[in-house]
Amino acid sequence: MTAKALPGFRDFPPHDLALRAYIFAAWRRVATRYGFEEYDGPPLEPLDLYTSKSGDEIVGQLYNFVDKGDRPVALRPEMTPTLARMVAERANGLKKPIRWFSIPQLFRYERQQRGRLREHFQLNCDLIGEAGALADAEIIALAIDVMREFGLGAKDIRVRVSDRRALTALLQARGVTADGMYAAYQFIDKLERMSPADLERHRTTPQPYAPATADDLIAVAGLRGLSQVESAVAMLPDGAAAVAPLTETLAALDAMGLSDWIEIDFTIVRGLAYYTGTVFELFDAGKTLRAICGGGRYDTLLQSLGGVDLPALGFGMGDVVLGELLKDRGLRPEPPSAIDCFVAAVTPEDQPHVLRIAHQLRDAGIRVEYAFGQTAVGKQLKIADARGARLAVVVGPDDRATGTAQLKDLQGSTQEAVAIDALAARCHELLAG
């Protein structure tokens, strides 16, 4: 066997597809519970959908090529530009706020690591057309409820929340100019994984965020909890306005009973330039894995991308890290049984009756298998068990003589003679019970 899957790409044999299907089903349950409607778009897009906004730099992380019509194209690395286009084209006719979600397969060309492949599926939930803080709370609550749907609790997951409006106000007060703001964000974003040598370099060489110093930024990033943030902002001229959205978002989450999940943490800024307000990330409590989910408010992106001026926010949650977490925690569900009922023949003469019964049961919506070759009844029941069948039907000469078959409940180890015409109905009864 020479042709393996490409690095960073996955095969999904049934056992693995079962986990993926389980994750997708939970995602859809929670998203629809919040009134979100599912959409999708093309996996292949024009290259400039991604380069026009982010610059040519990101081409290095894209799966891109020129198609047979000489069009530069790329496999989508994210869903937001596609979403922006779809919303922009229809914005006038859509009732606001728009609640849309999608489960796209996304691609990025970069070296893989645990929890990070070249391809993954990502739940994207976006709420468009609402600027108020209740929308921020709604999106964060949705992300939390997805965790709860998988059986994870506030002790398992940390939701780290920050707000760029408050962060920006504090950084400005320390002397960071508008030009230096993005550099300051990047410094704070990298703070947690920065080596002492790198930190020293930031202290001793001129930085774009001057006159603020590295230690100024560390002090701001070190703020934890709403009270610390509020008192830090209190002395600023526009301080109250800068923290108001964050305060209101937290109050709403508290009213929902979700405040146990939340940590105010100003080291969270997110790498992307386009976030304008609330930003948040979900981690496993032990922080052994990468971020499970990340999102935030991007009020100006639709304007710059699609020409429609609508506030928006959303998050993305990938299936890879989440899958690792569920496996680590023993929350991976048992794969569902393949069949409901196995039909066994006692003698070769019974085979036509097995086929007739099996087909009759399948017509009734029951998942059925039978053996292709003649083997001992015990052997056939062993197969039934291995396939996860709840029921087994055994047909032999004695049964045929009376127009019945033996119906076994493999779970309860009970058996009864049932008229062949009544089998389907009786199977449904037992399966429902």
Partner RNA sequence: GUGCUUGUAGCUCAAUUGGUUAGAGCGCCGGAUUGUGGUUCCGGAGGUUGCGGGUUCAAUCCCCGUCAGGCACCCCA
Contact positions vs RNA (CB under 7 A): 7-8, 61, 77-78, 80, 106-108, 110-116, 120, 189-190, 193, 270-272, 290, 294, 316, 318, 346-347, 375-379, 381-382, 384-386, 392, 394, 396-399, 406, 408, 410-411, 413, 415
In the complex, least distance from residue 375 CB atom to RNA, rounded to whole angstroms? 7
Task: State the burial class of residue 312 (Cβ atoms within 10 Å of its Cβ: 0-12, 13-18, 19+).
Answer: buried
**Given the complex with RNA, which of 83 and 242 has the nearer CB atom?**
83
**Given the complex with RNA, which of 216 and 350 has the nearer CB atom?**
350
In the complex, least distance from residue 251 CB atom to RNA, rounded to whole angstroms? 27
- Where do we find the tokens 């001793």? 204
In the complex, least distance from residue 241 CB atom to RNA, rounded to whole angstroms? 26
Which contacts qualify for 429-432: CB closer than 8 Å, 24 or more apart?
430/390, 430/391, 431/340, 431/366, 431/390, 431/391
Tell me the C-alpha distance between 237 and 358, whole Å: 78
Angstrom CA distances, 102 to 39, 79, 297, stand at 5, 8, 18
Nearest CA-CA partner of 371 in 386, 409, 363, 360: 386
In the complex, least distance from residue 416 CB atom to RNA, rounded to whole angstroms? 10
**Given the complex with RNA, which of 249 and 406 has the nearer CB atom?**
406
How do beta strands 157-163 and 262-264 pair? parallel
Calculate the CA 149 to chain-centre distance. Answer: 12
In the complex, least distance from residue 57 CB atom to RNA, rounded to whole angstroms? 8
How do beta strands 119-128 and 98-102 pair? antiparallel
**Given the complex with RNA, which of 8 and 132 has the nearer CB atom?**
8
**Given the complex with RNA, which of 121 and 150 has the nearer CB atom?**
121
**Given the complex with RNA, which of 108 and 160 has the nearer CB atom?**
108
**Given the complex with RNA, which of 239 and 294 has the nearer CB atom?**
294
**Given the complex with RNA, which of 69 and 433 has the nearer CB atom?**
433
In the complex, least distance from residue 60 CB atom to RNA, rounded to whole angstroms? 8
Nearest CA-CA partner of 275 in 94, 136, 431: 136
3-state secondary structure of 298: coil
Amino acid at 205: T
- Dihedral sign, CA of 183, 188, 191, 192? negative
In the complex, least distance from residue 346 CB atom to RNA, rounded to whole angstroms? 4
- Where do we find the tokens 């609790």? 153
**Given the complex with RNA, which of 99 and 108 has the nearer CB atom?**
108
Neighbour tally for 101: CB within 10 Å? 23
In the complex, least distance from residue 411 CB atom to RNA, rounded to whole angstroms? 6
DSSP 299-357: TTHHHHHHS----EEEEEEEHHHHHHHHHHTT-PPPPPPS-SEEEEESSGGGHHHHHHH
In the complex, least distance from residue 79 CB atom to RNA, rounded to whole angstroms? 7
